[in-house]
Amino acid sequence: MAGLFLASVGLAAALAGPPPLRDDEPLPWPRAPELARSPVELLPAFRVSLPLCTGASVRDPCAALGPALGGELATLYRPTPYFAFGASASYSVARGSLSGAPLAAKTLALGVSARVYLLESGELDPYLEALLGWGSLTTTLAPPGGPGHDDSAFGPLGRTGGGIDWMVSPRLKLGATAGLAVLLLEQRPVSTSLTAGLEVGVLLGDSL
């Protein structure tokens, strides 16, 4: 009887067929691309800022000037993903009118800069920045029908701020930056200016 029972069980199992297959497990979500940093960065930028002048009184030409527009070019060496240093040059012009006469203020700055980056890979590349250098401010007033008047001053310049870049590809990034610039001119009050800019980064060299 036992043998007959076992044979019946085996026949029933054979007729039932193999157990149903389990559904395939869903694939994991794809990871974001790991965009490593590059050791050399070429950074042209467009900047808009308040004019670098004191504005201490209504007689100061600073009160007659509009926002300053200009550009900056920086080259950075980034030995580690978290730190970079290099040099930069910038030029901007603010225009206005004083007593009916065209007025312009031109700022030229050369400096060395350093950045502390907060992420070592990924699409976003935020940072803090400091710049020290030398700047010149030339104010030109050109009254109609009369000779123009130029006033130039020079002095140390500094800027602090930060920004965030978006890695478009391993060789290109776009970013926005903002900060505060300070210019110390001879025999004049301290000149300060809020500045903001849009930046394009070209990345060179092997990834870190």
**Count of domains observed in the chain:** 1
Q: Are 39 and 77 in contact (CB under 8 A)?
A: yes
Closest by CA position to 163, among listed 93, 80, 70, 72: 72
pTM for the whole thing? Answer: 0.75
31 found inside a domain: no
134 found inside a domain: yes
165 found inside a domain: yes
- The CATH number that applies at residue 53 is 2.40.160.20
User: Residue 144 corresponds to which tokens in the numbers above?
Assistant: 């109609």
Q: Are 34 and 59 in contact (CB under 8 A)?
A: no
Could you give phi then psi for residue 6, rounded to 5 degrees?
Answer: -65, -35
Q: Are 103 and 141 in contact (CB under 8 A)?
A: yes
Instruction: Give the C-alpha separation, 147 to 118, whole Å.
Output: 53
Please tell me whether residue 203 adopts helix, strand or coil conformation: strand
- Strand segments, DSSP code E, in the chain are 40-49, 65-80, 83-98, 101-117, 124-141, 149-169, 172-183, 191-204
User: Residue 129 corresponds to which tokens in the numbers above?
Assistant: 């920045």
187 found inside a domain: yes
Say what the pLDDT of residue 31 is: 46
14 pLDDT higher than 90: no
pLDDT tens-place string over residues 161-207: 999 999 998 889 999 999 999 988 876 667 888 899 999 999 988 77
User: Residue 110 corresponds to which tokens in the numbers above?
Assistant: 């050369």
Q: What is the mean pLDDT of residues 55-72?
A: 71
Which one-letter DSSP state was computed for residue 4? H
Which residue has better confidence, 183 or 133?
Answer: 133
1 found inside a domain: no
Q: Are 77 and 40 in contact (CB under 8 A)?
A: yes
12 found inside a domain: no
Instruction: Give the C-alpha separation, 26 to 188, whole Å.
Output: 69
Domain that holds residue 87: 36-143+150-204
User: Residue 100 corresponds to which tokens in the numbers above?
Assistant: 């009916």
Instruction: Give the C-alpha separation, 38 to 79, whole Å.
Output: 9
Listed range (101-105, 141-145, 174-178) with the worst mean pLDDT: 141-145
23 found inside a domain: no
18 found inside a domain: no
